[in-house]
Chains A and B, each alone.
Chain A
Amino acid sequence: MNERNRGGDDGAAQPPGMPRWVKVSGLLVLAVAAVLVVIMLLSGGDHGPRLHTGAGDLIRTSLVVRAAGL
Protein backbone atom coordinates (compact mmCIF):
# COMPACT_ATOMS: atom_id res chain seq x y z
CA MET A 1 0.00 0.00 0.00
CA ASN A 2 1.53 3.28 -1.05
CA GLU A 3 1.53 6.60 0.80
CA ARG A 4 -1.24 8.07 -1.35
CA ASN A 5 -3.65 5.27 -0.47
CA ARG A 6 -2.85 5.65 3.18
CA GLY A 7 -3.79 9.30 2.98
CA GLY A 8 -0.24 10.43 3.56
CA ASP A 9 1.06 13.99 3.37
CA ASP A 10 3.44 13.44 0.46
CA GLY A 11 1.78 15.75 -2.05
CA ALA A 12 1.15 13.01 -4.66
CA ALA A 13 -0.47 13.78 -8.03
CA GLN A 14 -3.85 12.39 -6.96
CA PRO A 15 -5.86 13.54 -3.93
CA PRO A 16 -5.30 11.20 -0.98
CA GLY A 17 -7.97 8.75 0.05
CA MET A 18 -9.48 8.68 3.51
CA PRO A 19 -6.95 7.22 5.98
CA ARG A 20 -7.64 3.78 7.39
CA TRP A 21 -7.76 5.08 10.99
CA VAL A 22 -10.65 7.40 10.05
CA LYS A 23 -12.61 4.53 8.45
CA VAL A 24 -11.98 2.16 11.37
CA SER A 25 -12.88 4.85 13.96
CA GLY A 26 -16.02 5.75 12.03
CA LEU A 27 -17.15 2.12 11.91
CA LEU A 28 -16.49 1.73 15.64
CA VAL A 29 -18.50 4.87 16.45
CA LEU A 30 -21.38 3.65 14.24
CA ALA A 31 -21.31 0.24 15.96
CA VAL A 32 -21.37 1.79 19.45
CA ALA A 33 -24.17 4.18 18.40
CA ALA A 34 -26.20 1.26 17.01
CA VAL A 35 -25.75 -0.70 20.27
CA LEU A 36 -26.86 2.33 22.31
CA VAL A 37 -29.94 2.84 20.12
CA VAL A 38 -30.88 -0.84 20.50
CA ILE A 39 -30.41 -0.63 24.29
CA MET A 40 -32.59 2.50 24.46
CA LEU A 41 -35.29 0.90 22.32
CA LEU A 42 -35.27 -2.30 24.40
CA SER A 43 -35.42 -0.35 27.65
CA GLY A 44 -38.35 1.73 26.34
CA GLY A 45 -36.40 4.95 26.65
CA ASP A 46 -37.61 8.15 25.05
CA HIS A 47 -34.45 10.05 24.34
CA GLY A 48 -33.50 13.00 22.19
CA PRO A 49 -32.98 16.77 22.25
CA ARG A 50 -36.77 17.22 22.64
CA LEU A 51 -36.43 15.62 26.06
CA HIS A 52 -34.39 18.60 27.25
CA THR A 53 -36.47 21.43 25.88
CA GLY A 54 -38.79 22.55 28.61
CA ALA A 55 -37.24 19.92 30.88
CA GLY A 56 -38.06 21.96 33.95
CA ASP A 57 -41.74 21.87 33.11
CA LEU A 58 -41.60 18.12 32.62
CA ILE A 59 -39.83 17.59 35.93
CA ARG A 60 -42.14 19.93 37.82
CA THR A 61 -45.24 18.44 36.18
CA SER A 62 -44.22 14.93 37.15
CA LEU A 63 -43.55 16.10 40.71
CA VAL A 64 -46.91 17.88 40.94
CA VAL A 65 -48.67 14.79 39.61
CA ARG A 66 -46.89 12.54 42.09
CA ALA A 67 -47.38 14.96 44.97
CA ALA A 68 -51.10 15.11 44.21
CA GLY A 69 -51.24 11.31 44.23
CA LEU A 70 -52.62 11.21 40.68
Chain B
Amino acid sequence: MRMRSAVRKLVLSIHLVVSVGWIGAAGAYVALDLTTVRSDDPDLLRSAYMGMDLVVRSVIVPLAIATLLTGVAISLGTRWGLFRHYWVVISLLLTVLATVVLLVETRTIAALAEVAADPSTTRDELSGLSSTLVHSVGGLVVLLAVLVLNVYKPRGLTRHGWRAQVQATSDPA
Protein backbone atom coordinates (compact mmCIF):
# COMPACT_ATOMS: atom_id res chain seq x y z
CA MET B 1 0.00 0.00 0.00
CA ARG B 2 1.43 3.33 -1.08
CA MET B 3 1.86 6.02 1.56
CA ARG B 4 0.36 9.44 1.09
CA SER B 5 2.93 12.13 0.34
CA ALA B 6 2.81 13.73 3.78
CA VAL B 7 3.17 10.39 5.57
CA ARG B 8 5.97 9.29 3.22
CA LYS B 9 7.93 12.50 3.88
CA LEU B 10 7.47 12.12 7.63
CA VAL B 11 8.64 8.48 7.67
CA LEU B 12 11.52 9.29 5.31
CA SER B 13 12.62 12.18 7.55
CA ILE B 14 12.59 9.92 10.62
CA HIS B 15 14.47 7.22 8.69
CA LEU B 16 17.15 9.70 7.61
CA VAL B 17 17.58 11.05 11.14
CA VAL B 18 17.85 7.65 12.84
CA SER B 19 20.00 5.99 10.16
CA VAL B 20 22.53 8.82 9.90
CA GLY B 21 22.37 9.16 13.69
CA TRP B 22 23.30 5.47 13.94
CA ILE B 23 26.40 6.12 11.82
CA GLY B 24 27.35 9.11 13.99
CA ALA B 25 26.85 7.15 17.22
CA ALA B 26 28.86 4.26 15.79
CA GLY B 27 31.67 6.72 15.05
CA ALA B 28 31.62 7.93 18.67
CA TYR B 29 31.66 4.30 19.83
CA VAL B 30 34.73 3.56 17.66
CA ALA B 31 36.53 6.49 19.32
CA LEU B 32 35.86 4.94 22.76
CA ASP B 33 36.80 1.50 21.47
CA LEU B 34 40.11 2.86 20.14
CA THR B 35 40.78 4.30 23.59
CA THR B 36 40.48 0.83 25.15
CA VAL B 37 43.12 -0.44 22.73
CA ARG B 38 45.58 2.45 22.96
CA SER B 39 45.40 3.63 26.57
CA ASP B 40 47.00 2.24 29.74
CA ASP B 41 45.40 4.84 32.03
CA PRO B 42 43.02 2.89 34.33
CA ASP B 43 40.65 5.82 34.83
CA LEU B 44 40.42 6.38 31.09
CA LEU B 45 39.89 2.65 30.47
CA ARG B 46 37.11 2.47 33.06
CA SER B 47 35.42 5.52 31.56
CA ALA B 48 35.76 4.21 28.02
CA TYR B 49 34.26 0.77 28.74
CA MET B 50 31.40 2.29 30.76
CA GLY B 51 30.85 4.92 28.05
CA MET B 52 30.72 2.22 25.37
CA ASP B 53 28.03 0.36 27.29
CA LEU B 54 26.04 3.54 27.82
CA VAL B 55 26.27 4.63 24.18
CA VAL B 56 25.30 1.19 22.91
CA ARG B 57 22.33 0.67 25.23
CA SER B 58 20.86 4.15 25.19
CA VAL B 59 21.71 5.36 21.67
CA ILE B 60 22.96 2.77 19.17
CA VAL B 61 20.50 -0.07 19.83
CA PRO B 62 17.40 2.19 19.72
CA LEU B 63 18.69 3.88 16.54
CA ALA B 64 19.41 0.50 14.91
CA ILE B 65 15.93 -0.82 15.62
CA ALA B 66 14.33 2.45 14.51
CA THR B 67 16.39 2.38 11.30
CA LEU B 68 15.27 -1.15 10.52
CA LEU B 69 11.59 -0.43 11.21
CA THR B 70 11.42 2.87 9.31
CA GLY B 71 13.45 1.39 6.44
CA VAL B 72 11.00 -1.47 6.03
CA ALA B 73 8.05 0.94 6.31
CA ILE B 74 9.39 3.36 3.71
CA SER B 75 10.18 0.48 1.33
CA LEU B 76 6.72 -1.08 1.62
CA GLY B 77 4.98 2.29 1.40
CA THR B 78 6.66 3.47 -1.80
CA ARG B 79 7.23 2.23 -5.34
CA TRP B 80 10.59 0.73 -4.33
CA GLY B 81 9.07 -2.20 -2.42
CA LEU B 82 11.06 -4.48 -0.13
CA PHE B 83 12.14 -7.20 -2.59
CA ARG B 84 11.83 -5.51 -5.98
CA HIS B 85 15.25 -3.92 -6.34
CA TYR B 86 18.62 -5.45 -5.54
CA TRP B 87 19.83 -2.32 -3.75
CA VAL B 88 16.85 -2.44 -1.37
CA VAL B 89 17.24 -6.18 -0.68
CA ILE B 90 20.99 -5.83 -0.03
CA SER B 91 20.42 -2.77 2.18
CA LEU B 92 17.86 -4.74 4.18
CA LEU B 93 20.15 -7.77 4.56
CA LEU B 94 23.10 -5.62 5.65
CA THR B 95 20.97 -3.67 8.13
CA VAL B 96 19.55 -6.88 9.62
CA LEU B 97 23.07 -8.34 9.84
CA ALA B 98 24.43 -5.21 11.53
CA THR B 99 21.52 -5.16 14.00
CA VAL B 100 21.86 -8.85 14.91
CA VAL B 101 25.63 -8.57 15.45
CA LEU B 102 25.04 -5.42 17.49
CA LEU B 103 22.47 -7.12 19.72
CA VAL B 104 24.77 -10.12 20.27
CA GLU B 105 27.72 -7.82 20.95
CA THR B 106 25.71 -5.83 23.50
CA ARG B 107 26.09 -8.65 26.05
CA THR B 108 29.86 -8.62 25.69
CA ILE B 109 30.00 -4.85 26.07
CA ALA B 110 27.78 -4.94 29.18
CA ALA B 111 30.04 -7.59 30.73
CA LEU B 112 33.18 -5.58 29.93
CA ALA B 113 31.62 -2.45 31.46
CA GLU B 114 30.59 -4.39 34.57
CA VAL B 115 34.14 -5.63 35.12
CA ALA B 116 35.60 -2.17 34.37
CA ALA B 117 33.19 -0.53 36.84
CA ASP B 118 34.19 -2.92 39.63
CA PRO B 119 36.57 -1.00 41.95
CA SER B 120 38.45 -4.22 42.73
CA THR B 121 39.49 -4.64 39.09
CA THR B 122 43.20 -3.88 38.92
CA ARG B 123 45.08 -1.79 36.38
CA ASP B 124 46.55 -4.92 34.72
CA GLU B 125 43.14 -6.55 34.52
CA LEU B 126 41.68 -3.44 32.93
CA SER B 127 44.47 -3.39 30.36
CA GLY B 128 43.83 -7.09 29.67
CA LEU B 129 40.14 -6.70 28.91
CA SER B 130 39.22 -7.47 25.32
CA SER B 131 38.27 -4.94 22.69
CA THR B 132 35.31 -4.85 20.32
CA LEU B 133 37.18 -2.82 17.71
CA VAL B 134 36.88 -5.38 14.88
CA HIS B 135 33.10 -5.44 15.26
CA SER B 136 32.70 -1.70 15.66
CA VAL B 137 34.87 -0.79 12.67
CA GLY B 138 33.29 -3.57 10.61
CA GLY B 139 29.83 -2.36 11.58
CA LEU B 140 30.69 1.19 10.61
CA VAL B 141 31.90 0.01 7.18
CA VAL B 142 28.64 -1.92 6.68
CA LEU B 143 26.56 1.14 7.62
CA LEU B 144 28.51 3.34 5.21
CA ALA B 145 27.99 0.74 2.45
CA VAL B 146 24.22 0.85 3.08
CA LEU B 147 24.33 4.66 2.98
CA VAL B 148 26.10 4.60 -0.40
CA LEU B 149 23.56 2.09 -1.76
CA ASN B 150 20.68 4.29 -0.59
CA VAL B 151 22.15 7.42 -2.17
CA TYR B 152 23.15 5.91 -5.56
CA LYS B 153 20.28 3.40 -5.84
CA PRO B 154 22.05 1.27 -8.49
CA ARG B 155 19.79 -0.26 -11.14
CA GLY B 156 18.63 -3.85 -11.08
CA LEU B 157 15.26 -5.50 -10.68
CA THR B 158 14.89 -8.80 -8.86
CA ARG B 159 12.73 -11.52 -10.44
CA HIS B 160 9.97 -10.57 -8.03
CA GLY B 161 10.30 -6.91 -9.01
CA TRP B 162 10.30 -7.78 -12.70
CA ARG B 163 7.11 -9.87 -12.34
CA ALA B 164 5.41 -7.05 -10.41
CA GLN B 165 6.41 -4.56 -13.09
CA VAL B 166 5.13 -6.79 -15.91
CA GLN B 167 1.87 -7.31 -14.04
CA ALA B 168 1.44 -3.58 -13.45
CA THR B 169 2.13 -2.86 -17.14
CA SER B 170 -0.37 -5.44 -18.38
CA ASP B 171 -2.99 -4.50 -15.80
CA PRO B 172 -2.71 -0.76 -15.13
CA ALA B 173 -5.99 -0.71 -13.18
Question: A residues within 8 Å of B by Cβ?
Answer: 6-9, 11, 15-16, 18-19, 21-22, 25, 49, 51-53, 55-60, 62-63, 66-67
Q: Is the Cβ of A21 less than 8 Å from the Cβ of B156?
A: yes
B169 within 8 A of A: yes
Choose among B104, B121, B155 the residue that contacts A19 (Cβ–Cβ < 8 A).
B155
What distance in Å separates the Cβ of A12 from its nearest Cβ neighbour in chain B? 8
Q: Is the Cβ of B110 less than 8 Å from the Cβ of A56?
A: yes
Q: Is the Cβ of B156 less than 8 Å from the Cβ of A19?
A: yes
Which applies to chain A's interface (DSSP): helix, strand, loop or mixed? helix
Q: A9-B165, A15-B163, A52-B107 are in contact. List 4 more A-B contacts (CB 8 A).
A: A9-B157, A15-B159, A19-B86, A62-B128
Which residues of chain B are near A56, meaning CB under 8 Å?
107, 110-111, 114-115
Q: Is the Cβ of A55 less than 8 Å from the Cβ of B107?
A: yes
Q: Which B137-154 residues have a C-beta within 8 angstroms of A?
A: 154
B43 within 8 A of A: no
Q: Is the Cβ of A16 less than 8 Å from the Cβ of B125?
A: no
Q: Is the Cβ of B125 less than 8 Å from the Cβ of A67?
A: yes
Question: B residues within 8 Å of A by Cβ?
Answer: 86, 90, 104-105, 107-108, 110-112, 114-115, 121-122, 124-125, 128-130, 154-157, 159, 162-163, 165-166, 169
What distance in Å separates the Cβ of A46 from its nearest Cβ neighbour in chain B? 12
Choose among A11, A19, A25, A53 the residue that contacts B165 (Cβ–Cβ < 8 A).
A11
Choose among B107, B110, B115 the residue that contacts A63 (Cβ–Cβ < 8 A).
B115
Report how far A52 CA is from B129 CA in the complex, Å. 14
Choose among A7, A15, A60, A66 the residue that contacts B128 (Cβ–Cβ < 8 A).
A66
Q: Is the Cβ of A11 less than 8 Å from the Cβ of B169?
A: yes
7 closest residue pairs by CB, A with B: A56-B111, A19-B156, A7-B156, A55-B108, A15-B159, A55-B111, A52-B108
A63 to B, closest residue via Cβ: B125
Q: Is the Cβ of A16 less than 8 Å from the Cβ of B90?
A: no
